[in-house]
A and B are shown apart, each in its own frame.
Chain A
Amino acid sequence: MDLERSDDQELFRETTRKFLESTAPVSTVRQWSEKEAAGYPVDWWRRGAELGWTSLLVGEADGGGSVSGNGLADLALVAEEMGRLVSPGPLLMTNVVAAALSEAGTAEQRAAVLPGLVGGETVATWCLAEPGRPACGGEAVALEAARQGDRFVLSGVKGPVEAAAEAGHLLVTALVDGRPTQFVVPASTPGVTVVPLQGIDLARRIADVHLDGVTLGPEHLLGEVGDAAAQVERQLQVVVALQCAMMAGAVDEMFTRTVEYAFDRYSFGRALASYQALKHRFADMKLWLEAIHATTTGAVRSVGAREERAAELVSVAKSYVGTNATVILQDCVQLHGGIGVTWDHDLHLYLRRVVQERSLFGTPEEHRERIAAGMGL
């Protein structure tokens, strides 16, 4: 968490934390994951939206607004709290689509979609990834939208896509004449089929989106034809910065609980926390954890402020957080002993969350490749 946050931000964070703790403790998240289609009750999401979860990246003209002037920094606080309790809900996906629409949408598009997203009645998702392709970098997208008069026809598969089944709107990134172009597609459009996948994260749903002759008009274009490269980069930065915040929250929570466990658990008449071999491992984990927070904060601030170096800093964060979050969590498992590999212990829920975020929108390896390219190699 950003140690330089303002009082208003702290109040906002505290409100979200209290709401999450009272409505969706981890035991509830487990129950919802089994009985709720989307992993959460629709009304719960709507109440979250009332707290501001879906309006921070939306312009004031469209009913949005930030707490601190840096809406992404505010939203990262929510993402971190949600990581802390492995909360369900399409926080990242809905917000990135809302931000894109708010920035590049026509008046009609904004009026048609944003009120529902901001109010929490509908959710949206971003279809960027394609099977078998890296999710960041120049080769991420191969889906061609064929021109047909002034219309476009999309056929192909996008995925994995989080929250596709529950989304009312899909933001689809494709190519027109080989150049990046984005479309806002109602999920009910003929030819759109959502094919559920087995997701690692129990609390969230993930799917492939099959597009079979989906025909769209110019009113579905977000921005100009062939002109979406900068917008796609911006969306990627926003999502990745939030992924890091969510992972930071998840790891922080489990690390804290593992430290407590080390004080409470006795072996050979001493607390685990008294053994130097283990203390040194905790020291390393603490080091990595604080570095995770530091680099997440750096990325969030920079992306939020639209700095030029945000492109690098966001990849620095994803590389560092994605690599070390799993290292810490697996060490937490080890230090718990046998209970750490049971279904009943919460550890695996956190590991699942981190594995999902690590893997989508560019793995740490893919982000390192991006950094190397950015260094002119």
Chain B
Amino acid sequence: MAAQSVIGAPAEEVESFRLRARAWLAEHMPRLPEGVDNYHLMRDDEFGVRARELQRTLYDAGFAGICFPREYGGLGLSREHQQAFSRESAAYEMPVLFNVPTLSILAPTILDFGTEEQKRRHIPAILRGEEMWVQFLSEPSGGSDLAGLVTRATRDGDVFVLNGSKIWSSGAFRSDYALCLARTDWHAPKHRGLTMFIVKIHQPGIEVQQIRMVNGWNEFCQEFFDDVAIPAEDVLGQVNDGWTVASRLLIHERDAVGGASRYTSGLGAAGERSGSATGLDHLARATGRTSDPTVRQLVAEDRVHERVAQQLVRRVTTGIASGYFPPPAGAIPRLFAATANERHRDMALEIVGRGAAAWTEGDPVGEVSVEYLFRQGGSLGGGSNEMQRNIISERVLGMPREYAADKDKPFDEVRHNAAPSRVR
């Protein structure tokens, strides 16, 4: 089927695009070493240097931003083109570090709300691998109640002056820009006094501190803002209407984490586990348990979840597009991915058995138990499972909203958690 490109010229057929991509990948992209996936490589690419180079290579060859509009450096092609490219690229090194959040969450939000100038400044730079982005949303005082944040931005002539702290921002130390939600009006009810800002991360007044995680990584960061001057032209959307921007960002985030985004490139974004180094089929082989009936059941159950996750994404995206589901139904694949991931971690632990307690350094079997420690990561990041369940029950099933003590009250009269403190 011929897709229609943004500027109206008939686009390349998916099949011909696939074949062209196949040939190009074989000639220009480095092959993944046996038994290693891109997510493993990512760990060794601490500063994203390799990812930036690879992203640039894709861009120069005309394979970056497949679903992004052509006027901002993308290809303006369909989801099917992107899927075809992702499948073809499975055996190669890919800049997956750019997928979440840069390409799938922040770039689409900028496309939705950015001025022409903002879009031209940032989207092509992102696609060229020059800008990596993060989200500055959660704060030490709370993440689920995002609209209750207390970082402040005060207008002073042509600039806003930012003070406060953000936390859990993944990969901020290696990134260039952030979308930062801050409070600009303390007398308005909580949703109506927020503004979204484009913030350059490495600049005077911003201190970025890495936080060590249970698996030993230092992905998490906390930022401290000390009178940071943000030019007024870096407001994304309208002043005091940041909640509208944030809500849209959260939809992109849900799609990204749930596997429904069309802006990610390369495999492994959503639930594609089997075949990879930590796939349960691989573990069953590595532990010599392929004929154990219990293990066979677990491997198959994981495969079932992998397939159903993909089918569910298709159902929900089609249903939202046709109006059968309201947009918040994006929470459904998001919650599916998180709960399937929890189950995956449990099953992996079960398969490796005693091997979870001790292993030879570098053995993927051992990594399973370390990943088990991070089991809840996928159920918290991008809005916790509890928040997704609130969304599904209230905004898909229409059940009564939870009682909110801060509803319609000026924010400065609402009780909230203490201002930022340092987590060490």
Contacts and interface: CB of A to CB of B under 8 A. Distances in A.
Interface of A: 3-4, 259, 262-263, 271, 273-274, 276, 279-280, 282-284, 286-287, 290-291, 293-295, 297-298, 312-313, 316, 319-320, 365, 367-372, 375-377
A215 B373 CA distance: 64
Interface in B357-410: 386, 388-394, 396-397, 399-400, 402
A181 to B, nearest CB: 30
B300 A291 contact: no
B128 interface: no
B393 A316 contact: no
Contacts of B391: 283
Given A262-B399, A298-B311, A375 B300 contact: yes
Given A3-B322, A259-B397, A316-B307, A291 B336 contact: yes
Contacts of B402: 276
Contacts of A294: 308, 311-312, 314-316
B316 to A, nearest CB: 7
Interface of B: 274, 281, 284-285, 290-291, 293, 296-297, 299-301, 303-305, 307-308, 311-312, 314-316, 318-319, 322, 324, 332, 335-336, 339, 386, 388-394, 396-397, 399-400, 402
A375 B315 contact: no
A259 B285 CA distance: 44
Contacts of A276: 390, 402
A77 to B, nearest CB: 16
A290 B315 contact: yes
Contacts of B281: 375-377
A376 B300 CA distance: 11
Nearest to A301: B311
B388 A283 contact: yes
B323 to A, nearest CB: 10
Contacts of B305: 320
A4 B318 contact: yes
In the A-B complex, the 5 residue pairs with the closest CB atoms? A279-B393, A368-B300, A283-B389, A283-B392, A372-B296
Given A3-B318, A279-B390, A294-B311, A287 B335 contact: yes
A293 B397 contact: no
Contacts of B400: 271, 273-274
Given A280-B393, A372-B296, A293 B303 contact: no
A375 B304 CA distance: 12
A251 to B, nearest CB: 15
Given A294-B316, A298-B311, 16 more contacts: A3-B324, A263-B399, A280-B386, A280-B389, A283-B390, A284-B389, A286-B396, A287-B332, A291-B308, A295-B311, A319-B300, A369-B293, A369-B297, A372-B296, A375-B299, A377-B290
Contact of A293 (B291, B304, B315): B315
B338 to A, nearest CB: 10
Given A273-B399, A279-B399, A372 B304 contact: no
A313 B399 contact: no
15 contacts: A271-B400, A280-B389, A283-B397, A287-B339, A290-B316, A291-B312, A295-B307, A297-B311, A319-B301, A365-B297, A367-B300, A368-B301, A369-B293, A377-B281, A377-B285
A320 B336 CA distance: 13
Given A287-B336, A290-B315, A313-B307, A368 B396 contact: no
A21 B312 CA distance: 29
Contacts of B290: 377
B308 A316 contact: yes
A372 B308 contact: no
Contact of B307 (A287, A298, A365, A370): A298
Given A283-B389, A377-B290, A290 B332 contact: yes
Contacts of A369: 293, 296-297, 300
Nearest to B317: A3
A259 B400 CA distance: 12
B284 A377 contact: yes
With most chain A CB atoms within 10 A of its CB, the pick from B274, B281, B297 is B297
Contacts of A283: 335, 388-393, 396-397
Contacts of B299: 372, 375, 377
Nearest to A263: B399
Contacts of A282: 392-393, 397, 399
Contacts of B386: 280
B392 A286 contact: yes
A3 B319 contact: yes
A280 B308 CA distance: 21
Nearest to B315: A294
A240 to B, nearest CB: 14
B274 A375 contact: yes
A286 B397 contact: yes
A295 B308 contact: yes
Contacts of A372: 296-297, 299-300
A265 B19 CA distance: 59
A371 B303 contact: yes
Contact of B392 (A287, A297, A319): A287
A367 B296 CA distance: 11
Nearest to B402: A276
B129 to A, nearest CB: 35
A312 B312 CA distance: 17
A280 B385 CA distance: 9
Contacts of A263: 399
Contacts of A286: 332, 392-393, 396-397
Contacts of B394: 279
